[in-house]
């Protein structure tokens, strides 16, 4: 039975997807409560993310799990023992090393090598910013880092929820049909509008700075950047011929399918935090 004959057909997957979103947000929130656990969790994100990237671009590579484990353990050492600047330097070199390993050692094609280099950068340089956000302690406020990471994670994940639901209810005109046919103008615009409202609520409750105007701008920025991260990963999946990056999360696919919106949001938010910290000095 098609959707025209069954009006509720396009909403059939809504319950399982929303339920999975709730679980994702709860797991992320709990994992970041203890500062030490947050570092381990970020390294697990890198391990799982690298597994999915390798399976996307080099599906015949048999040592994907071992390779991803080594990358995660190296990141763990860097996060524990390096300053932020040193971490970025060593992590960047590691990304280059990963690219060379596949290009020269595994004789991987140029496109797959670029994809894996990007994947390493996403895991080691973008998603890892969550660990640094969690470690923020302006004005000797030990809970500030937790509040900041809660703000960006909840805002980003619910932005996905808002765009998905608004697209389901009101979406007709496609916004990027050749990359992600399910994304609509109504979903994008409506989702960002609701994200701006949510940003004001979360900002008032969690952030030690800002006002209505600032919270609204942050909601607009992170709503749009979250959409861009989602579209970029959709493009990569289309290029590699996969529907989902994995099967970890019921109704969603792999880990990368759900944290793709953090690709830009996490580093941009940490940069804004550093800017505010510098301005306060």
How is residue 75 written in tokens? 């990141």
How is residue 119 written in tokens? 């994947």
Q: Is 12 exposed, middle or buried (0-12, 13-18, 19+ CB in 10 A)?
A: exposed
pLDDT at 3: 43
For 249, phi and psi rounded to 5 degrees? -115, 120
Q: How confident is the model at residue 172 (pLDDT cuts 50, 70, 90)?
A: confident
pLDDT tens for 53-100 read 999 999 999 999 999 999 999 999 999 999 999 999 999 999 999 999
pLDDT tens for 236-274 read 999 898 888 888 876 668 889 888 999 999 999 999 988
Residues 6+ apart with CB under 8 A from 99: 113, 114, 116, 117, 120
* Conformation bin of residue 92: beta by default, left when phi > 0, alpha when psi is -120 to 50: alpha
How is residue 207 written in tokens? 């952030």
- Cα–Cα distance for residue pair 40/121, rounded to 1 Å: 18
- Give the mean pLDDT of the chain: 87
CA distances, 57 to each of 115, 127, 173 (Å): 7, 19, 31
- Cα–Cα distance for residue pair 14/120, rounded to 1 Å: 32
Q: Which residues pair with 184 in a beta bridge?
A: 174
pLDDT at 5: 42
Residue 172 C-alpha from the chain's centroid: 26
SS3 174: strand
């Amino acid at each position: 039975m098609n959707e025209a004959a069954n009006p509720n057909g396009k909403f059939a997957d809504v319950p399982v997807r929303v339920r999975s979103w709730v679980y994702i947000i709860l797991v992320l929130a709990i994992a970041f409560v203890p500062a030490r656990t947050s570092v381990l969790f970020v390294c697990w994100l890198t391990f799982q993310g690298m597994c999915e990237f390798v399976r996307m671009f080099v599906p015949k590579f048999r040592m994907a799990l071992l390779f991803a484990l080594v990358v995660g353990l190296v990141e763990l050492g860097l996060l524990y023992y390096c300053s932020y600047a040193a971490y970025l330097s060593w992590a960047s070199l590691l990304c280059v090393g990963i690219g060379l390993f596949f290009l020269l050692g595994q004789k991987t094609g140029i496109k797959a090598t670029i994809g894996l280099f990007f994947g390493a950068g996403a895991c080691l340089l973008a998603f890892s910013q969550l660990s640094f956000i969690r470690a923020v302690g302006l004005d000797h406020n030990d809970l500030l880092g937790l509040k900041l990471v809660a703000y960006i994670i909840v805002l980003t994940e619910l932005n996905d929820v808002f765009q998905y639901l608004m697209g389901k209810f009101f979406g007709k005109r496609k916004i990027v049909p050749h990359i992600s046919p399910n994304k609509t103008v109504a979903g994008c615009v409506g989702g960002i509008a609701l994200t701006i409202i949510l940003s004001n609520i979360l900002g008032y409750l969690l952030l030690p700075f800002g006002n209505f105007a600032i919270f609204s701008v942050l909601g607009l920025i992170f709503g749009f950047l979250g959409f861009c991260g989602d579209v970029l990963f959709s493009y990569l999946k289309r290029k590699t011929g996969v529907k989902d990056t994995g099967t970890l999360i019921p109704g969603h696919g792999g880990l990368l399918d759900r944290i793709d919106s953090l690709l830009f949001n996490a580093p941009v938010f940490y940069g804004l935090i550093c800017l505010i910290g510098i301005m306060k000095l």
